[in-house]
Chains A and B, each alone.
Chain A
Amino acid sequence: MDLSMKWLSDYVKIDAEPRKFCYDLTMTGSKVEGYEAEGSDIKNVVVGKLLSVAPHENSDHLLVCQVDVGKAEPIQIVTGANNVKAGDLVPVALDGSDLPGGVHIKKGKLRGVESNGMLCSLGELRLTKHDFPYAIEDGIFIIQEDCKPGDDIHDAIGLNDTTVEFEITSNRPDCLSVIGLAREAAATYCLPFDPPEPKYKGISGDIGEFLNVTIENDTLCKRYIGGVVRNVKIEPSPRWLRERLRASGVRPINNLVDITNYVMLEYGQPMHAFDARYVSGHEIHVRNAKEGETITTLDGVVRELSPEMLVIADAEKPVAVAGVMGGEYSGIMDDTVDVIFESACFDGASVRRTAKKLGMRTDSSARFEKGLDPKGCLPAIMRAFELVELLKCGEPLDKVIDKGDRSRDRKTVDFDPKWINRFLGTDISREDMIGYLERIGFEVVLNKVVVPSFRVDIECKADVAEEVARFYGYNNIQGAELTGVANAKLTPKQKLLRKIEASCTALGLYEIETFSFISPKYYDKINLPADSKLRSGVTIKNPLGEDTSVMRTTVMPSLCEVLARNYNYRNPSAAIFELGSEYIPTEEGKLPKEPNRLSVGMYGNGVDFYTVKGIIEELFESIGIGDVEYEAAGSGCGFDEISMFHPGRVAVAKINGEPIAILGEMHPAVAENYGIGTRAYCAKLDVTELLDLETAERTYKPLPKYPAATRDISLVCDDEVPVASLEKLIRGAVGAVLEKITLFDVYKGEQIAGGRKSVAFSIVMRSADGTLTDEQADAAMKRVRKALDGAGAEVR
Chain B
Amino acid sequence: MKQALEKIELAAREELSKIADPAELEALRIKFLGKKSELSAIMKQMAGLSAEERPVIGQLANRIRTDIEAAVSERAAQLKAEASERKLREERIDVTLPGKAPKLGKLHPMDAVMRDIEDIFIGMGFDIAEGPEVEYDYYNFEALNLPPDHPARDMQDTFYITDNILLRTQTSPVQIHVMESKKPPIRIISPGRVYRSDAVDATHSPIFHQIEGLVVDKGITMANLVGTLDMLMKRLYGDECRIRLRPHHFPFTEPSAEVDVLCFNCGGKGCSMCKGEGYVELLGAGMVHPKVLANCGIDPEVYSGFAFGLGLERIVMRKYGINDMRLLYENDLRFLEQF
Contacts and interface: CB of A to CB of B under 8 A. Distances in A.
Interface string A477-489: 1111110111111
B172 interface: no
Contacts of A29: 246-248
Contacts of A31: 246, 248, 258
A375 to B, nearest CB: 20
Contacts of A506: 104-105
A231 B249 CA distance: 46
A548 B289 CA distance: 35
A701 to B, nearest CB: 28
Given A542-B160, A543-B159, A513 B248 contact: no
B334 to A, nearest CB: 7
Nearest to B337: A510
Contacts of A591: 132, 134-136, 165
A170 B150 CA distance: 9
A90 interface: no
A643 interface: no
A460 interface: yes
B222 A551 contact: no
A463 B300 CA distance: 13
A481 B227 contact: yes
A515 interface: yes
B299 to A, nearest CB: 14
A382 to B, nearest CB: 28
Given A424-B223, A425-B222, A571-B333, A540 B246 contact: no
A470 B150 CA distance: 24
> Which of B148, B150, B197 gathers most chain A CB within 10 Å?
B150
A470 B105 contact: no
Contacts of A439: none
Contacts of A498: 115
A566 B332 contact: yes
A501 B199 CA distance: 30
A736 interface: no
B214 interface: no
B113 to A, nearest CB: 12
Contacts, number: 238
Contacts of B103: 508
A38 interface: no
A512 interface: yes
Contact of B224 (A463, A481, A517, A562): A481
B81 interface: no
B151 A170 contact: yes
Nearest to B139: A591
A425 B221 contact: yes
Nearest to B218: A484
Interface string B225-238: 01111110000000
B330 interface: yes
Nearest to B221: A425
B106 A511 contact: yes
A386 interface: no
Contacts of B32: none
B328 A513 contact: yes
Contacts of B221: 422-425, 480
A348 interface: yes
Given A466-B255, A494-B128, A591-B135, A510 B167 contact: no
A589 B161 CA distance: 10
B218 to A, nearest CB: 10
A370 B249 CA distance: 13
Contact of B105 (A27, A474, A505, A542): A505
B74 interface: no
Interface in B248-307: 248-249, 251, 254-258, 287, 289-291, 304
Contact of A462 (B111, B165, B230, B287): B287
A486 B254 contact: no
B124 A462 contact: no
B91 to A, nearest CB: 30
B125 interface: yes
A514 B291 CA distance: 36
B244 A475 contact: yes
B151 A348 contact: yes
A583 B108 contact: no
Contacts of B246: 26-27, 29, 31, 474
B171 to A, nearest CB: 14
B152 A423 contact: no
A540 B161 contact: yes
B304 A423 contact: yes
A568 B103 CA distance: 23
A576 B158 CA distance: 31
Contacts of B207: 515-517
A294 interface: no
Interface in A159-182: 169-172
B5 interface: no
Contact of A485 (B125, B231, B331, B336): B125
Given A507-B105, A510-B337, A591-B135, 13 more contacts: A27-B247, A172-B249, A461-B290, A470-B247, A474-B247, A479-B228, A486-B123, A493-B130, A501-B107, A512-B108, A513-B108, A516-B207, A569-B334
29 contacts: A31-B248, A170-B151, A170-B152, A170-B249, A172-B249, A349-B150, A369-B151, A462-B254, A462-B287, A466-B256, A474-B246, A479-B226, A479-B228, A480-B221, A482-B124, A482-B220, A484-B185, A488-B125, A489-B127, A491-B128, A498-B115, A505-B104, A508-B105, A512-B108, A514-B329, A565-B332, A581-B133, A594-B133, A594-B134
The 8 A-B residue pairs with the shortest CB-CB distance, nearest first, are: A486-B125, A425-B223, A425-B221, A29-B247, A479-B227, A466-B255, A169-B249, A349-B149
